[in-house]
Amino acid sequence: MLILPPKKESKSGSKEPKNRQNTGFATTSIPGLKGHDTRAQCMRVLEVMYLSRFMDEKMSKLVKQNKGGTFHMPATGHELIGAVSGLSLEPGKDWGLPYYRDRSFVLGLGCLPVDLFGTFMARAVSHHSGGRMMPEHFSHKELRIPCQSSVVGSQFLHAVGVAKALKIAGRDEVVYVSAGDGATSQGDFHEALNFACIHRLSVIFVIQNNGWAISVPLKEQVAGGSIADMARGFKGLEIADIDGCDYEQVSTALAAAVTRGRVGMGPSLIVAEVPRLCPHSSSDDPAKYKTCEIIEEEFSRDPIPRYESWLTNMGLVAVTEIETLRAKVRARVEAAAAEADQLPFPEASTADQKVFAPAPVFSCSAQPRCAVADAKKEAVVMVDALNRALDEEMARDAGVIVFGQDVAHGKGGVFGVTRQLTARYGDDRCFNSPLAESTIIGLAIGMSFVEGCKPVAEIQFADYIWTGVNQLMNELSSIYYRSDGKWNCPVVVRMPCGGYIQGGPYHSQSIEAFLAHCPGLKVVIPSNAADAKKLLKAAIRDPNPVVFLEHKALYRQRVFCARREPSESEIMPLGRAEVVRVGDDVTLVGWGMTVCMASEIAEQLAKEGISVEVIDLCTIVPLDMKTVLTSVAKTGKVLIAHEAPLHGGFGAEIAARIAQKAFTDLDAPIMRIGAKNCPVPYCKKLEDEVLPQKKDIENGLRQLAAY
């Protein structure tokens, strides 16, 4: 639905918005306003503006015609700032992360109207998700537009991540990212500005300020009502506060920002005031919150008639040329819409495909699994094995980049996993991040978009991932799926987890069940040093996002966890469980700490004639049910033990699959052991009462053996 202008004749002159002044880049002259090239450039801007406007008009009709698209996100009023932005970049070289109302940007950069119409009608187009995302969620690999999402403001940190990877690589590409004024209320906006300024990154932040976050006016979003003023505290940020419907201000600000980014002088913020001459979406009615006077004032700032007047007043084009172009573009839009309507819908059978990118196949190590008692003099503990895995992978692949809180320099992480990596590989390969989990995950996403870059991010404690969970679960996990397999994110997120160390409620959480419920994330949790090293190597070489959980209480545990260090070439495939101990009477399935405890109990029970087969899952996703089911078929009895609360724990998923696929093999009920359904307390006596203990596992195994 488009808002019709008031019947009163709109003003088409270059009316300046109230209290508007350029507070950043100089506008004393307009570069290259003479000559044929400038005329052609200006006509190209008008053509892109017409394309976007006429597409809006067409989409407002198509949305009512049951052609596959049920949602329209118009961009009417935003055409000039987007068009000039897109035409200011070098297609295929520079990067664009535009928000949903920036159609004119992607048209200016080179996206085809037929593709955008196809996406609007949920057809199987080769770009913009192929029907997996709503319209205006742009994605184009060749034009370097990473897959965008519905989450307001998430793209800011991705843009910063792209720019960080480019700076490390020494490339002169610039990164454009846009959003509406409402997005500046998001923490990711401020975190992105902060990181971009700290590292002097070549990011152009463009805020298309139409004064409304759906129905919420700017005065209820921004203290003082000025986004530019709010951002002035970020040292090193060049700010331009402009009229986004004035070609001279827009083109000058963009040219300066691109030049600044190209030479590595740091980030720019352009706040462009524009009118939103349309509803927020086809499901919105502006009459509920805008008065007739507001609508009339907004139409007086319509960028298209203003730009047409400017072109004729400057003597660059004749009115007849404008009319000819308008007719030509309108015909092109109609043709593109008709062509898109002939495109097929995606095949229903593909709906659950492309969740994970194809991963390399690693052959299982020819060497037998390291026994607990192997060469104790040469054994390494888990924290050292992980450090050496990172060291070897960074030496092997210059694209592996480690970052997070306290990981760099002499500290080397709060547990020492990343010690000496900065000294060996430099500040660009191992650096500290701000204390901001959303920054860490969002940065990793953006860096992974740059081919060859493999970020390994550390979240200091799994308990603190929750402020970054939008970036992890809404963004990182689904980018390969949402982009229809065009963009993948080879990201490893390391997180120390687990209890038994008197860490209290905020240093003891086991979060694997939350992670496993999110499609698109691989989840790894090793139980010993040898597996930890081999699994981390596999995770780093995987093209998908991998959450690598490291149990804090096992970092320096020697009795079970210390092992002979695997060689550089040894890698353990993700998705393969290990039979830690062979048995015939009862199967125990565990991961992390419970494997350590179960192995000790199984050894004790063996002296009494109770034979326990202990299975270490190693990876939660992918889940190796084949090994589990093979064991259950042999023993007929199974105990699943995990440290997380029993209620809703991942053991319930395993139990359900066993019941479904191996019910006839069972000689006893499936038994589960887990923590009590409460936070983990600090007092050791209370902690031991909440978390599963060896005696709990022993009692469960005895009960099953006697069944």
Distance CA 277, CA 77 (A): 5
Integer Cα distance of 380 and 557 in angstroms: 10
212-213 and 216-217 as β-strands: parallel, antiparallel, unpaired?
antiparallel
Rounded distance, CA 509 to CA 679, Å?
8
CA distance 204 to 267: 6
Q: What tokens appear for 442 in the block?
A: 């969002």
Supply φ then ψ for residue 439, to 5 degrees.
-60, -45
Query: Cis omega before residue 622 (within 30°)?
Result: yes
Q: Which residues are catalytic?
A: 507
Beta bridge partners of 205: 177, 269
Query: Do residues 188 and 153 make contact, with C-beta atoms less than 8 angstroms apart?
Result: yes
How many CB atoms are located within 10 Å of the residue 695 CB? 10
| Residue 331 Ramachandran class (φ > 0 left, ψ -120 to 50 alpha, else beta) | alpha
Query: 504's torsion region: left (phi>0), alpha (psi -120 to 50) or beta?
Result: left
What is the DSSP annotation of 467-491?
A: GGHIIIIIIGGGHHHHTTTS-----
DSSP code per residue over 270-330: EEEE----S-SSTT--GGGT--HHHHHHHHTT-HHHHHHHHHHHTTSS-HHHHHHHHHHHH
Contact status, residue 231 vs residue 197, Cβ threshold 8 Å: no
Please, are residues 546 and 505 in contact by the beta-carbon 8 Å criterion? no
Sheet of 522-524: strands edge to edge? 430-432, 400-404, 454-458, 492-497, 546-551, 522-524, 619-621
Tokens of 515: 């992670």
Give the separation between CA 442 and CA 155, rounded to whole angstroms: 8
- Catalogue the E-assigned strands of 210-267: 212-213, 216-217, 238-243
